[in-house]
Structure 1
Amino acid sequence: MFSSLPIKRACLSFTSACSLLTLLGCAPTTAQKPVAFTPPGHWLPAPAPENSVLVNYHRCNAAWAIRHQSLTDQQVQQACDMMAENEIKFHALFP
């Protein structure tokens, strides 16, 4: 009674459309992010090296060190303790 030909065509075009959209979604974009440009005569000096700004240095352990400007010894110790706790939690979550 009913012809299944239109249904087959509709399914084929739907499948083709899905395949095309999938391929287009995986294609790399050609647009690049804009690069910061400084016109001639408007240059900025390079930022100061970190060791000249963050003059205080504290090594928490063999892997971590903290550079800071004006933390107290108590704040530095709290930061080291907090990083150690986070490392334990991280390795418990991702063994």
Structure 2
Amino acid sequence: MKSKTEFKHEALLDASDIQDLLKSISKGLGKGKLEFSDDKGTLALEPQGLLYLKVSASEEDDRQQVDIKIRWEKHPKKLSKELPKIGS
């Protein structure tokens, strides 16, 4: 399959199917590898180190929504573990 750098998928699913999908994402995060694929190609991601998580929920009229965003740096910056010297 052709490799791509973006994966998007939209569908109407029942809560059980979405729960299975979220479990697969959770399992992939635990293993350090997420692989998304469809008939257009495959996108493999390797989450590592500290991950940024943003969860938001909203309700407007008859529409309710939950958004989950997970992000990480492919090559995280190395930070010093030493305290700076500060004089007073």
| Same fold, judged at TM 0.5 (above) | no
TM-score by length of 1: 0.21
Greater RCO (Cα-Cα under 8 Å, separation 6 or more): 2
Structure whose CA Rg is larger? 1
The structure that is helix-richer by fraction is 1
The structure that is strand-richer by fraction is 2
